[in-house]
Structure 1
Amino acid sequence: MKLYWTPGSCSLAVHIALRETGQPFAMARVDIMTKQLEDGGDYRAVNPRGALPALELDDGQVLTEGAVLLQYVADKAGGGALIPQALDLPRYRVLEWLNHLATELHKGFSVLFNPGAPDAFKQAVSAKLTGHFVDMNEALTASEWLANDAYSVADIYAFVISNWAGMVGIDLSGFAALEAFRARVAARPAVQAALKAEGLA
């Protein structure tokens, strides 16, 4: 498999999942602004939408969309690693979080990273995102992990998204359970390896 990535972006979640499951993979860095690959190629030839992440499978097919890639990587590893088996209710608890993170938090941060978005709109989005972090903090007060009392791809995705908060002025220091969660995830060897590989640690 080949992961198309940019340091610290949403592709980091898939990078971490690949390392957590011990699956072999190559990496192809993308300049997300120019859509250019390190070798000079056009990333849009891989993913016509131009968005990250993308995962090229061993047979040459390409999958996109972070929440989908996280499920694929976990399922490919087998044995319920990072996500419970299909038709087990706990799997859908993980998927609830994955979808919430993708549609409510990830999409919100996309607005805040857009230099053309009006300031008043950004303030409203920041307030909404803070509310989602309040909810996440409450969930993590009851459990070390977001779903099923077990580390999963939802936790990986939440960790990556929460790393963006400081970049846009959202202060998470008042959320003790969330901060403890972030420290737990950050301390994992696979997470440390991914952060180091991306020049983030």
Structure 2
Amino acid sequence: MKLYYSPGACSLADHIAMHEADMTFDRVRVDLKSKLTETGQKFEEINPKGYVPTVEMDDGQILTENVAILSWIARRKSCLTPTGEQGELRLLEMLAFISTEIHKQFGRVFKPTSDAEAAAAREKISQRFQLIGSLMKGDYLFGQDASVADAYLFTMLLWANKVGLEVPQGLADFAQRMRTRPAVQLALKHEGLE
């Protein structure tokens, strides 16, 4: 199995989650500007969407998109899903929220068409972080155990730090807790982000 990633991109969430799940996989670095893998292969031959994350299964099947990949990882390692009758649904709900309400907004911060657009996106992200901070049920999103959604949220918090976006203290503390996890440390090391 292979994880196609770009250092510090949203694929970091999948990288962390795969380590949390004790999965065995190869990592293939992708240059998102040139659209080439580290071996020189055209990345769009692997994933026509042209962006990471992408997981190539041992049988050659390709899986893309954070929500799908993180859900798949959680199914393989049930401790990465919240407990309870609606645990899978709550996980999917949070993954979709992070993807659509936070991740997507960062595109308007990283590549704005205007200062006003960037300011509006920053405000929206701040509001969404405030909401997530108020919904946390413990050390992690769903309580005392980390889920795949925590890996995604951590990645978004790294992006917030990169662009100087202040986050609620509870989320800053959460990010520090995440940094102490061996899976996070390993993924950051692999991506050269220590």
Cα distance between partner residues in 2 of 1:76 and 1:94: 14
Task: List aligned pairs for 1:164-179, cutoff 5 A.
Answer: 164-172=159-167, 175-179=168-172
Deviation per CA, 1:5-58, whole angstroms, max 9, x where unpaired? 000111111111111111110011000111111111100001101011000001
Residue aligned with 1:98, SS: helix
Q: Does 1:120 align with 2:116?
A: yes
The percentage of counterpart residues that share the same residue type is: 40
Shift, 1:111, TM fit: 1.6
Residue aligned with 1:81, SS: helix
TM-score for the superposition, normalised by structure 2: 0.94
Structure 1 contact 93–148 (Cα < 8 Å) conserved: no
Q: Does 1:41 align with 2:41?
A: yes
- Alignment gaps of 5+ in structure 1: none
Q: Does 1:26 align with 2:26?
A: yes
Q: Which aligned segments of 4 or more residues in structure 1 are displaced greater than 4 angstroms?
A: none
Structure 2 contact 82–142 (Cα < 8 Å) conserved: no
Matched pairs, number? 194
Structure 2 contact 55–62 (Cα < 8 Å) conserved: yes
Paired residue type of 1:180 = D
Q: Which sits farther off after the overlay, 100-109 or 128-137?
A: 128-137
The equivalent of 2:98 in structure 1 is: 101
The equivalent of 1:62 in structure 2 is: 62
Deviation per CA, 1:161-187, whole angstroms, max 9, x where unpaired? 111012223122xx2211111111110
TM-score for the superposition, normalised by structure 1: 0.91
Q: Does 1:16 align with 2:37?
A: no
Paired residue type of 1:81 = C
Residue aligned with 2:79, SS: coil
RMSD of aligned alpha carbons: 1.6
Structure 1 contact 56–62 (Cα < 8 Å) conserved: yes
